[in-house]
Every structure is written in structure tokens, then in C-alpha cells.
Amino acid sequence: MKKFILTLLLFISAFQLVQAQNGTARHRIAIFAPLYLDSAFNELDEYRYAKNVFPKFINPGLEFYEGAQLALDSLNKEYAQLEVFVYDTRSAKESLAEQLNKPEMDSMALIIAHCNTSEVKQFADAGLKRNIPVINANLPNDGGTNGNPFFVLLNPTLRTQCEGIYRHIQKFYSINPIIVFRKKGQLEDRIKLYFDEFGKNTVGVPLKMKYVDLTDSFTVNQLKPYLDTTNQTLCVAGSLDENFGRRLTQQLAYLKKQKYLSSVVGMPTWDNIKDFNKPEYKGLEITYSNPFYNAKLDKFSQSIINHFNNVMYARPSDMVFRGYEVTWKYARLLLQYGKDLSSNLSNKSHKVFTDFDIQPVVNKENMSLEYFENRKLYFLKWQDGVIKSIY
């Protein structure tokens, strides 16, 4: 594993060197990810863990970087005029603030960030300060960003997700009784608030949603009073809690076998539930949203899968595909538009796996631009262990 990580870092150095030897102007890209290299190696460059042990907390950032590296490798073969800098946001030697204030940041043309909640505002502010487009590749959180035409949120906020779910229900389930099952909590209250707001402002017929609070240990007997054996009921999971969603779908599937008619619409966090193909979910129609759906049948995906199978003896995670897609698309846009990239952040060219619909988020009080956000949502419908439809 140590050799692999060091190979990745050496690749970036080699990539910069090749481009530096070319006399034409180069566009500079900064990629930030939580690589935890100082946690993985000691001051003697020795791996801190057992030979066959790799801590899970390192995976997301490293996998994102693996995907970015593959995209850069492809671009390098085409002699793309790029110079790429990679920063470990978990470095023990430099804080994120220190990295963002490095002299080379003044000449960056693009920042791609895999970040956490506490870092979003720092990245957004750094981009605004230097007029550098910043792509938040993973976190569905704006960090309180406002008045920033250089910040792009690829993973939609909870508000946008709830609006998309509400419209999806309006389109396909408006004539059904709609029960929103939820647990008590601040996020659950926000979901209810968003649904209620969209109901008040919709141009269509508002949905008649009935909210039902459940405890963590709810049983099928608590669900039965809201279901029917003659009419189909739409059940909506009004919580991001994956365990709540898993329990709700399992019990609704059990009741479906008892002739209670229902289907369920869940939250984007349900993409982390990997067992919808198991027998206990059979019979129930399960739908949830996902902004990054990838069927992995295209040539790019197959190439990445083959690379991981043949070189790394592993399967690429979704974060690998995310790193590849974001790096490829926005590096291509940078090469195409150069200094005008900030005026073309919503450009739909250079699609890789998924469709992005980058739209401005506008402050409705003063009609000013807050930032840009991807508003594309795919809706995946599972039934009897397979994906039946994608909207």
C-alpha cells in the first residue's frame, strides 16, 4: 500500500515536469483531498500499520484522488497544457488555511476540492478572493456561502433534494394517499419544513402529506393503521438516517406480503444501503434520488474497472468515478475556455458518466447570485432486487 501511495504522488510530480518542459502556457489546477499521508507514515517514511491493514478513514480521499489521477493520466497522454498540484488536507505540517495561502495559489485557474463541512467556506472564500472557480465535488453543503459566482456545489443541498423529491411525488404519486414517516430530530424538522414550503409555493396542486412520528424501535403494528389492503399508499421516509430507512423498507416489504399495498420513496442517503437486492425487500417498490448515478456500462467506466481489476486487484468505489469525472470535465472546460472558465461553469460539455445541471442559486430577497449548484437528480426505482427504472 505504501508503494502504491508513493507511486500516485510520484505520478503528479512527473506530470508537472512533462508540462513544465513544454514552452506553451499551462493552466494550473489545485486538487485538495484528505489523504492522511502523515497518519499513514511516520517521520522515517515507514508505514504505521500492519502490512495488510489499511484504515477505512483514509479510503474516501484516496479513492477520489485515484480517480483524479486516472483522468490526469489520460489528459497527459493528449499533451494537455496543465500543471497540477495536489494537497493533503490532513497534512500534519500545514493547515488548510496555510495551503490556501501558498504563493502558487495566486496563479491557479481551478480548485477541485473533496472537503468536509468545516472546510467548505474556506475553499469558497479562497476562490472568491482570487477569482478562481472552486468545485466542491462531494459535500451537499454550501457552508453558508453567499455572493460567490466562483463556487460550484456538485452534490445538491438537502433543500434541493427535498424539492426534487416533492416534484417527483407530484408527477408520479399525487393521487395516492401520502404518509411521511419520520423520527424526531433537527434534520427531520428541516425536511418537513422544506416539504411544507414547496407545498405553499408550488405552481401545481399541493400534495396532501400526513406526517407520522415513529420511535427508533417502531414495529409493523405502528405502520398498519396508515396502510390499506385495497388502495396503494405512498410512504415517504422523512429522515436521512439510513437505519431508519432500512427498517422502514423491511417492514413495509413484510406488510406487502400481508396484502397491505404500499410503495416507498426514500432519501439520497439510501444510496448507501447496498442490500435492496436481498429477499426481505422483495415485492416492495423502492425509489430514491441520487445526483451521481452511473450504470458503469460506458467505455470510461469499463476502462476504470479493468484498470482496477488488472493492476490493483480491486473494484473501484463510487468515489473513484467521482474523482475521474470531476477532474476530466472541469479540466477539459478549463482547456477550452481558459480565463473564461468562471463564465462557463454551467456548460454541459464533456459529460463523462452523469448529467450535471449547474444552475445559479439566487437570493430571493435581493435577487443576487449566491453560488452555483447541480440540480440534476436521478430517481432510481428498485423492485424485487433489481433497478427497474431511472428517471
Give me the pLDDT at residue 338, please. 96
Segment 295-328, tens digit of pLDDT: 999 999 999 999 999 998 889 999 999 999 999 9
Of the candidates 296, 294, 233, the one whose C-alpha atom is nearest the C-alpha of residue 260 is 233
Do 175 and 86 have their domain in common? no
- The pTM (predicted TM-score) of the whole model is 0.91
Q: C-alpha 287: how far from its chain's center?
A: 18
pLDDT score at 313: 84
Q: Are residues 172 and 97 in the same domain?
A: no
Residues 89-140 have pLDDT tens digits of 999 899 999 999 999 999 999 999 999 999 999 999 999 999 999 999 999 9
Whether 165 is covered by a domain: the verdict is yes
For residues 181 and 248, state if they share a domain.
yes
136 vs 155: CA distance, rounded Å:
8
Q: Which three cell numbers stand for residue 76?
A: 497527459
Do 150 and 162 fall within a single domain? no
Domain that holds residue 179: 158-290+379-390
Q: What confidence score (pLDDT) does residue 38 get?
A: 79
Question: pLDDT tens across 5-50, in order?
Answer: 444 443 443 344 344 445 567 999 999 999 987 766 656 565 665 5
Question: Are residues 211 and 100 part of one domain?
Answer: no
What would the mean pLDDT of 49-74 be, rounded to a whole number?
84
CA distance 389 to 391: 7
The DSSP secondary-structure symbol of 138 reads S
Angle among Cα 205, 271, 378 to the nearest 5 degrees reads 45
In this structure, are 193 and 330 located in the same domain?
A: no
One domain, residues 141 and 164: no
The mean pLDDT value for 244-260 works out to 96
Q: Is residue 373 part of a domain?
A: no
Query: Is residue 17 domain-shared with residue 118, that is, in the same domain?
Result: yes
How confident is the model over 170-180, as pLDDT tens digits?
A: 999 999 999 99
For residue 374, is it within any domain? no
CA dist., res. 375 & res. 361, Å (int) = 10
CATH code: domain of residue 252: 3.40.50.2300
- 364 found inside a domain: no
Residues 165 and 175 in one domain: yes
Assess whether 299 and 152 both reside in one domain.
yes
| 8 in the same domain as 150 | yes
Residue 181 lies in a domain: yes
Largest CA distance in the chain: 74
Is the residue at 371 inside a domain?
A: no
Q: Is 245 a domain residue?
A: yes
Cβ neighbours around 361 below 10 Å, total: 19
Q: Is residue 133 located within the same domain as residue 215?
A: no
Look at the chain and report how many structural domains it folds into.
2
Residue 363 lies in a domain: no
